[in-house]
Amino acid sequence: MEYYNYIKALHLIFVITWFAGLFYIPRLFIYQIEAYQKDEPEKSILTRQLKLMTKRLWFIITWPSAILASIFAFTLLIMIPDWLQQPWMHVKLGFVVLLYAYHIKCHLIFRELQNDVVKWNSNKMRIWNEGSTLILFSVIFLVIVRDAINWIYGVVGIFVLAIMLMLGIKLYKRIRAKNPDA
């Protein structure tokens, strides 16, 4: 137990860097998708640079952070196995599974774009970009309030957040339609 705080700190550090990668990678996907719509030579220059940026972000920051966050999380669960008896931990682990599903889907999108396969448009990718935000909000509130959470308010709160994010995306789309440089 003397190393508990160090392990917890390392877990949090790598969760933060993992989320940083998950927040930024869809943004790079958006830029890459939009670059495919440009004329040459701008298209080739942008896609080459964006492929390099996404590759570095994905393999140097995001994947290692996911793996290290998980290793330190498992270490914490081994140190304090009673957490596995707590209902809030079951829900949190469910969100972690959802986060890994999101991560793996981002990996599949990454591979497609690296191979010049574009199946998404930039608007759908903007919506996809908010998935990690919803998971982050859910996990943070769950961990902080734990058993005191009123599940009805929590679920309603997440839906309200999702609606606000969608409205923000629609507003941005309108602003961008009026001013393409925005």
Q: Is residue 11 marked as binding?
A: yes
Please report the sign of the dihedral spanned by the C-alpha atoms of residue 38, residue 106, residue 113, residue 20: positive
Helix (H) or strand (E) holding 163: helix 151-178
Cα–Cα distance, 152 to 176 (Å, whole number):
36
Q: DSSP string covering 44-104, please?
A: HHHHHHHHHHHHHIIIIIIHHHHHHHHHHHHHHHHH-GGGGGSHHHHHHHHHHHHHHHHHH
Torsion angles phi and psi, residue 180, rounded to 5: -60, -20
- Rounded to 5 degrees, what angle do the CA atoms 87, 93, 98 make? 130
Closest CA to 18 of 68, 72, 73, 62: 62
Q: Is residue 55 marked as binding?
A: no
Fill in the amino acid letter for 61: I
Q: Which residues are annotated as a binding site for heme?
A: 11, 92
Q: Which residues are annotated as a binding site?
A: 11, 92
